[in-house]
Amino acid sequence: MVTKTIKNLPGVSFANAVQESYQRIWLAGLGAFFKARDEGVKVFESLVKEGEAAQAKTTERAGKIIAAASRRRRAEQDRFEEAFQNRIALSISRLGVASKLEYDAVSRNVNDLAAALKRLAAERPGGTPATE
């Protein structure tokens, strides 16, 4: 009899609906808790594998970017060195200082002349160079 009276009261059906909703939410949360407990290790391992794959992919991309940047830096450095050497060579040339190639050519000529003098000295009687 009391149940019939409560059901007929205004707002009681709303209160029952709210109580039923709370009960369902509680049961859903409880179910999620036990499911997470049972499958948590599987989910965790799955997340670790996904993380490892993402890290490997990111590391590979970063390596490619670093390698490309390194190649560009080396090319720029080589270009700068060549320009610097050209400027130095031009400055030395303007000052009248012999270049390495010129120095090497003169050195070879002096060595050739010294060798020729030794040959001539060996061909003379007495083996001494002539003095005039």
pLDDT (tens digit per residue) in 48-102: 899 999 999 999 999 999 999 999 999 999 999 999 999 988 888 888 877 778 8
Q: Kindly state the average pLDDT of the residues 17-46.
A: 85
Classify the C-alpha dihedral 4-7-10-15 as positive or negative.
Answer: positive
Q: Kindly state the average pLDDT of the residues 35-46.
A: 80
Q: What tokens appear for 111 in the block?
A: 């060595």
Q: What tokens appear for 71 in the block?
A: 């190649």
* Strongest mean pLDDT among 4-13, 46-55, 75-84, 118-127: 75-84
How far apart are the C-alpha atoms of 42 and 49, rounded to whole Å? 11
Classify the C-alpha dihedral 123-126-130-132 as positive or negative.
Answer: negative
Please provide the average confidence, as pLDDT, over all residues in the chain.
84
Residue 2 has pLDDT above 60, yes or no: no
Classify the C-alpha dihedral 30-33-36-37 as positive or negative.
Answer: negative
Quote the pLDDT of residue 125: 73
